[in-house]
Chains A and B, each alone.
Chain A
Amino acid sequence: MKLRMFLMLFAAMILSPAAQAANEGIGWIPTWNQAVAEARLTNKPILLMSGQPSCGGVPGVW
């Protein structure tokens, strides 16, 4: 699986100039509760992408 469950307050990430650099990553928020709390504080929408951190039972790959 290539995706994972992270929640991203994407308004900050999409609009961030830093995020456009080739070696930049995405600042995912790993749990629902954290993302909900941040969304309420920042009034930003949530991009929820969930995936399984294993494939065929083998970890270390989505």
Chain B
Amino acid sequence: MKTLLVWIILASSALATEPRAVITGPKESRPGSLVVLDATESTGIGRMWLLAVSPEPTSFLPVENGLKCIFASPVPGEYVFILVVSGTNPNGGPAAAMAQHTVTLLGPRPPPITDPTKPPPQQATGAVYIFEKDLHQVPRPVSAALNRLNLERESFVAAELDQDVIAGSGQAPAQYQAALAAAKAAGLPALVVLGPSGVLRVVRDPKTEADVMEAVR
């Protein structure tokens, strides 16, 4: 506010003009479309654009010395712009005029722009609860959740393993080597969620069925 006052005083002292603020432009548009607001019918010397209300933080850009303002947003909703124009009153003192303009972006949010060079998010294909038998018991709701995942999700493999488990080879089971390493790094007990390419995420110490189901969602 202090900055605004200084700006008005400086601008009004530069040129003695009775200020008038006028905004023209569309009142409705589509998400993602470019909206141009026009202040050329305004009189005065200094112009300042503000976005007073918006569904979420949005950038806008005054151009042509503030005579126009452009913006675009993917989010539907009401966007309330304020134009402040500075000048001088008939007595030669500083003055300002203000106008308000609301643009409503209608319709659904457009689909997100995806980067074709990046793979799509991976679906969980398995989960393993890893614990240390000497320190941890497997919570019964966690066992129940793992069973549920095994039965309800096609090709999904859920298991509960002590951290020292090995295969017949004497090595950590190949299918769980990455999971065991991830769980030990995160701290036991931990639920490791697996995807086609390996570990998707690690959740420390889940205790409820909801914890497990949320982790693999």
Instruction: Answer yes or no: do A and B interact.
Output: no
Measured CB to CB, the residues of B under 8 A from A are none
